[in-house]
Amino acid sequence: MGTWMQNVANGWVIYQLTNSPLWLGLLGLSFALPMTVIPLFSGTIVDRTNRIRLLWVTQTGMMLVAFTLAALMWLHVITAVEILTGSFLSAALLAFDNPARQALIPNLVPRNDLLNALSLNSATYNGAALIGPAIAGILYAQYGAAVLYFVNGVSFLAVMWALVIIRHVRAHSGGARTSLRDSVGAGLSFAWRNRLVAVLLALSAVAAIFGRGYQGLLPVFARDIWHGGALSYSALLTAGGAGAFVGAFALAALRVVRHQAGIMIGSGAVFAVSIMAFALAPWLWLGVTLMFVAGVSSTVLGTLIGTFIQIETPNELRGRVMSLYTITLIGLPALGALVVGALAEAFGGANAAPVAVLIGAVIFALLLAVGAPPILRAHLESLETPGAPGGAGGWSSEKSAEELVAAADPEELVELCQVEGGRPGGEPGVRAKSASTPEAAPAPKTPEPPAAPE
């Protein structure tokens, strides 16, 4: 919730300081650069380190950035450059934080409940997107942006407490250690050669660049198109968050989701149409309504994509592959915001913002129509493999414990054996076996004594 409040502060303050849609695009770029480049390497770090300890480092760093921005605002010395710097640093830390959290989720829940878990994770994220902007609009109007930055800093303490109470969870990948180049190459090679993962990452990237670029121009719509203020901006963000919240909980409530590929394509089409209509909407209330629809469809699309990628990827590669998904989920939308902001500036500034958003939505719709057949074919091919999502083997294609042990380092083998048997979804008391260790012979059964005569 605090992060969403800081996002409201960043966008509104930088627009107040510069009055330029291009600077809103630069704000997106300051976030997009680290979130596009760093995850290519951060996934390797996630797969090599204790993921919970890594989360401690990233959460602490983001907390310090928030407190620094709060102090600069209170001292009335903040500039647009310092906001861009804070955005860049937060994104650099998030480039490690998000893959670590994503890779940790499958070790916290049974495999068959992964869709529900990811949907609930999306619900908490979008629940914060629902509540955060609403509170931010009220606090900003009453107390200014400094309070928003400060509240965000305090909010990281709750995450740290959650990390403290996590117990008996496998926090390492269990994969073999190789050079950085080989590790990065292994993740890229898997994503490229696995047809389903490749087309899903492509779909997520297209949606991010051309579909979600409108988010950076919401302050322009709120102030200059519909002549509102901070509360209007907050209403747009809150409506999108509410829709995302509804979409996430709807998926979480479903035990089995059938026709997943068709639902993904359909939700993408609804998302594209809602953004086109938003760009043409003449009234704020209609824009708020369309933001709700866009939030529902975008969350259904993103959650199903993330679920398929999680299940298709073995644990020892999950950090690297999810880092690629992080690029499309978080990094590329900010890059799309720069493109849309530059288009608006080129076509005449703030008044051209609807035209820029409409162009992006049309491009996304066209690319979705072109890409739908390959996505459906890749999904059908995955159904032919036992263990593929939606196939005969259920929702899991994760490697077995024996395969993970064979790939593990000797130093991590003890931890792997201890955790695998007691983690959620595992069988209590089962320990992984090394290929070099002979299996112990079963103990002879003791004959039962004859029943006593009546």
139 located within any domain: yes
Strand partners, 436: none
Residue 222 has what DSSP assignment?
I
Helix or strand run (H / E) with residue 404 = helix 401-407
51 located within any domain: yes
In 3D, which of 210, 203, 259, 258 has the Cα closest to residue 375? 203
Which residue is associated with the tokens 């799309």?
336
- Between CA 233 and CA 193 the distance in angstroms is 43
Integer distance in angstroms from the first to the last C-alpha of the chain? 71
100 located within any domain: yes
Q: Quick one: tokens of 202? A: 């492509």
352 located within any domain: yes
- Between CA 317 and CA 407 the distance in angstroms is 11
User: Cα-flanking dihedrals φ and ψ of residue 394, to 5°?
Assistant: 90, -155
425 located within any domain: no
Give the CATH number of the domain where residue 167 resides: 1.20.1250.20
164 located within any domain: yes
Domain that holds residue 205: 2-383
**39 touches 326 (CB < 8 A):** yes
pLDDT of residue 288: 93
Q: Which amino acid, 51?
A: R
Q: How does pLDDT run across 226-253, given as a tens digit for each residue?
A: 988 878 887 888 788 788 878 877 877 7
Q: Quick one: tokens of 131? A: 């509540």
Dihedral sign for Cα 407, 408, 414, 418, please. Answer: negative
Number of domains observed in the structure of the chain: 1
Q: How does pLDDT run across 383-406, given as a tens digit for each residue?
A: 655 444 444 333 333 444 444 344
pLDDT of residue 233: 83
pLDDT of residue 398: 40
- Residues 6 or more apart whose Cβ sits within 8 Å of residue 371: 199, 202, 203, 206
In 3D, which of 228, 333, 213 has the Cα closest to residue 275? 213
Q: Which amino acid, 417?
A: C
- Between CA 198 and CA 438 the distance in angstroms is 40
440 located within any domain: no
Quick check: helix, strand or coil at residue 257? coil
pLDDT of residue 446: 45
- Between CA 367 and CA 358 the distance in angstroms is 14
The segments of the chain whose pLDDT lies below 70 read 111-112, 114-115, 119, 122-131, 133-134, 167-178, 254-258, 379-454
438 located within any domain: no
- Between CA 390 and CA 380 the distance in angstroms is 10
**221 touches 93 (CB < 8 A):** no
pLDDT of residue 400: 40
User: Cα-flanking dihedrals φ and ψ of residue 255, to 5°?
Assistant: -70, -40
Q: How many residues does the chain have?
A: 454
